[in-house]
Amino acid sequence: MTDLIDVTETDGGLIELHASGMRTVEQLWDCYGRALAFPWKVENWPSFAEQMRDLSWYQAFSFLILVRGSGELLADDPGERETFRRMSSMIGQAWENSPVRSYSFTTVLLER
- Cβ burial 81-104 (10 Å sphere, 16+ → b, else e): eeebeebbeebbeebeeeeeeebb
pTM for the predicted model, two decimal places: 0.87
Reply yes or no on whether the pLDDT at 100 is more than 60: yes
Question: In this predicted model, which residue has the larger pLDDT, 45 or 11?
Answer: 45
Cβ neighbour number for residue 37 with a 10 Å cutoff: 10
Using CA atoms, how far apart are residues 108 and 5, in angstroms rounded to an integer? 11
Q: How confident is the model at residue 56 (pLDDT cuts 50, 70, 90)?
A: confident
The full set of domain ranges for the chain reads 2-109
Pure H helices in 1-112: 2-11, 25-35, 45-54, 81-96
**Residue percentage of the chain with pLDDT more than 70:** 89
**CATH architecture for residues 2-109:** 2-Layer Sandwich (3.30)
| pLDDT at position 104 | 84
The mean-pLDDT minimum among 86-90, 93-97, 107-111 falls in 93-97
| pLDDT at position 58 | 84
Backbone angles phi, psi at 106, to 5 degrees: -130, 135
Backbone angles phi, psi at 49, to 5 degrees: -60, -40
What mean pLDDT comes out for the span 4-10?
50
